[in-house]
Amino acid sequence: MPELIANGPIKQTNLSKRQQKIAERQRQMAKQNNTNFRKAERNFKSKAFLPDMSNVIHFSQLEKNSETNLLKIIPVQLPVNLWELDRDMFEDPNCNLSDKNNENTKEIHKPFLQKAYTLSDHPGLIVIPNPFKNSGQRRLVKKTLCDWACFPNKTNLDPFYNMEIQNSLFEQHVIDSENQITNPEYKAPLIKSLFENDESSFKESKSTTTKKDDTCTTDNTNSGITDIKNLETGENRTKCQTNLAVTQPKNEFYLQSHNASDLLDHLRWTTIGNQYNWTTKAYDIDKNIPVHDDLSLLMKNIIKCIYGAKITNENGTEQTINAYDFSKYVVQAGVINYYGLDSTLLAHVDKSEENMDAPLISISLGCSCIYLVGGDSKQGNLTPILLNSGDIMASCGPSRTAYHGVPRIFDNSCPSFLTDIENEELDIQQNQVNWKPFSDYISKHRINFNARQCTL
């Protein structure tokens, strides 16, 4: 009979030392699987029943919050409007004054100020509900799928494919689709699998690893569903750096060459700037790909806007919640995450940057999601936030090291100005862009892009 030790492991005296170790490991794993995070992830992930949304924070529509939640939402005063920093990208906060200053929803923003909030349980977290012009968001969708997503920036597909293509995967998909319409004979070029014709080595080495230069390793690149996982530990996330031990893909899809449209379904992320080394869990400083100027400018403007952000405490005193000097800020690295409707991102902490004082800026586009934010552990106080297209989140101060994850993307939640293909007003400036392929993609995806300063 197992002997029950108070607050300790169940000790089975008839087990060998090794078996006891295994039993203890399993017990620890079961415990980990029951953290507040796991419970919340299970609730929001489930498609079998409607998730309990009662404690979700809504920053865009304060009236949707429960009374308890409203008490947790604290308005933040920002020193400058984003619109003053970039009038092409951001909406003038005064253009819709009629829906502001609603007594019932504790809206205390004065005209001319940018709306922003923090949460009493998560000091340092700042959310600016969608400050973008509709056309600004459309431009960002294009940049995250095309301009910023090109080789040599790495994607989760790099371990398996020769991604040295001229265009981004999405652009190639568009070119192929257009060619197929005009020429039914057109054959979309295949992007070569690094494992094609390697079936024998695949079979042989299923349980072994090999060393390859400038290739990558994956530990669980399976169905393409729920495969964006822990960024920091690399758990279940494709590892993609130099000089790594390479395991063969478990999913046979990756053994074959495919055209861009097929591969697009498997695109989960692109890393920008300094590339992250999944083995050393550090940035490869020598893999420093220049960050696009427009991405840097956007992030710098946001950093400028939140510099000196303040809240007013209950006793009337003012408290600065972010004092990171914008003149020291440089975008050195970033990730563009592409979420399908079934994708999730498990709880993790972004802690590989030497500079943990610079705020981490993160922007959502397309379908809405539940973003879970916790504290120092997966057991701590946990808050689900509904993030909509255009929402900006800045993780400053203590919230910079908080656990966070994305357990749910909502279907039918993409705003119509991103899916609407008729609206000429919204056409991407200067370029006659055919919006249809973008509309098809973004109506079923969420794109998140974030920027980090790595060094001090």
Ligand X SMILES: O=C(O)CCC(=O)C(=O)O
Distance in angstroms (rounded) separating the CA atoms of residues 227 and 220: 8
Residue 362 found at the interface with ligand X (CB under 6 A): yes
Strands (E), 351-391: 360-366, 369-373, 383-387
Distance in angstroms (rounded) separating the CA atoms of residues 264 and 176: 12
350 marked as part of a ligand binding site: yes
445 marked as part of a ligand binding site: no
Residue 404 found at the interface with ligand X (CB under 6 A): yes
Quick note: the x/- pattern for ligand X over 217-256, rule CB under 6 A, is --------------x-------------------------
Residue 78 found at the interface with ligand X (CB under 6 A): no
Q: Which of residues 434-453 bind ligand X (CB under 6 A)?
A: 448, 450
Residue 36 found at the interface with ligand X (CB under 6 A): no
- Is residue 281 within 8 A of residue 232, CB to CB? The reply is yes
Residue 117 found at the interface with ligand X (CB under 6 A): no
404 marked as part of a ligand binding site: yes
User: What 8-state DSSP symbol labels residue 188?
Assistant: P
Q: Which residue is nearest to ligand X (CB)?
A: 448
**274 residue type, one letter:** N
Residue 339 CB, nearest approach to ligand X (Å):
7
Nearest to 75 by CA among 61, 91, 59: 59
Distance in angstroms (rounded) separating the CA atoms of residues 392 and 66: 22
- Is residue 378 within 8 A of residue 32, CB to CB? The reply is yes
Phi-psi region of 366 (alpha: psi -120 to 50; beta: other; left: phi over 0): left
Residue 347 found at the interface with ligand X (CB under 6 A): no
Taking the least distance from each CB to ligand X, the nearer of 174 and 231 is 231
Residue 364 CB, nearest approach to ligand X (Å):
6
- Is residue 299 within 8 A of residue 331, CB to CB? The reply is yes
Residue 350 CB, nearest approach to ligand X (Å):
5
Residue 118 found at the interface with ligand X (CB under 6 A): no
Residue 64 CB, nearest approach to ligand X (Å):
20
Residue 345 found at the interface with ligand X (CB under 6 A): yes
Taking the least distance from each CB to ligand X, the nearer of 148 and 371 is 371
Residues 6+ positions from 454 with CB-CB distance below 8 Å: 274, 283, 332, 333, 352, 353, 354, 355
Question: Which residues does the annotation place in the binding site?
Answer: 348, 350, 404
Query: Which residue ranges are tagged as binding site for Fe cation?
Result: 348, 350, 404
Point out which residues bind ligand X (CB under 6 A).
Answer: 231, 335, 337, 345, 350, 362, 371, 404, 406, 448, 450
